[in-house]
Structure 1
């Protein structure tokens, strides 16, 4: 059973089993000797957009936890790839975006399409009472969009960020970026 109720839209029924919470152990180093437990949950913004009564007819309406949004078929189709993206995230580069993080994956909607930038916005928190190092990730939103980050935006490999947030790595364990010579 999904955390999200199904959506009937234009004669089709869309379900959200692919957005069930995911839990797995993620290696933090190449030798796979350090791990962190990662629990991933998804928000409805991964398959909806802001509801605009001037743009959307009532059949677009999707209500989740007292929030009224508009079902977005393109976001839904992209969201089908989120579970695989999450398990492959460890190799990715993430950027700080205010109080959360951004990761940009490259996805194709069909075998014939070229890949497009898919921005994923998430929070990452340490689970303090866990027996082993563990993190909770909440994917707030995801949609087709290139990375928008300031020139000086801080970036990390996801494994470095996960190691820092979980406390497995201390800040002194993380090597600073080399300074580019002019």
Structure 2
């Protein structure tokens, strides 16, 4: 059964690429391999619903929040699995809100915009098969990379995983 099951204008969306998956990586700081369960939110293929701008046939609910199907986000979301697979050797950024992280791969849209992937990462539940749990919260094109990275703190993904696994705080650089 599909993780996401949505029909827009009579067509069932192909969202199989956003099915849950597992990422494993060897973390040298821990001298062990970590299993990371990965999930994607519907924000990867939807945007905020605006009455008058979006047809009600494009309405997709995210719990109690109204979202609208976004064809561009859907098309770009096909790049997310390879972006997740690239994380073990990547640097990511702690966002200024200190609540999630952003990864910007060398992925651009046809008109030159950047495609950042926002995600949260937390330790897995005790007794669970995975050590960490990653949720790709959103991904959407932006015009300026510098706007995405303003106020962020860079950290390598394996170091981030080690800190989360050990329960250590991830501290932002001093804010100005």
The two structures have a TM-score, normalised by structure 2, of 0.80
Higher helix fraction (1 or 2): 2
**SS in structure 1 of the partner of residue 82 of structure 2:** helix
Q: In the aligned structure 2, how far is the partner of 1:40 from the partner of 1:131?
A: 14
Cα 1:115/1:37, change in 2 over 3 Å: farther
The structure 1 residue matched to 2:139, chosen from 114, 139, 142, is 142
Whose radius of gyration is greater, 1 or 2?
1
**How many angstroms does 1:130 deviate by?**
3.9
**How many angstroms does 1:6 deviate by?**
2.4
1:2 aligns with 2:25: no
Q: In the aligned structure 2, how far is the partner of 1:165 from the partner of 1:54?
A: 43
- Contact 1:20–1:41 under 8 Å retained in 2: yes
Gapped runs of 5+ residues in structure 1? 172-176, 178-182
- Contact 2:48–2:68 under 8 Å retained in 1: yes
Residues matched between the structures, number: 166
Gapped runs of 5+ residues in structure 2? none
Cα 1:141/1:12, change in 2 over 3 Å: same
Partner of 1:106: 106
Query: What is the correspondence of 1:19-168 to structure 2 with a 5 Å cutoff?
Result: 19-29=18-28, 34-97=32-95, 98=97, 99-107=99-107, 113=110, 116-130=113-127, 134-145=131-142, 146=145, 148-151=148-151, 153-167=152-166
The two structures have a TM-score, normalised by structure 1, of 0.78
- Contact 1:107–1:115 under 8 Å retained in 2: no
**How many angstroms does 1:66 deviate by?**
3.4
Q: In the aligned structure 2, how far is the partner of 1:66 from the partner of 1:128?
A: 26
Higher mean alpha-carbon deviation, 16-25 vs 36-45, is at: 16-25
**How many angstroms does 1:25 deviate by?**
1.6
CA RMSD, Structure 1 to Structure 2 (Å) = 2.9
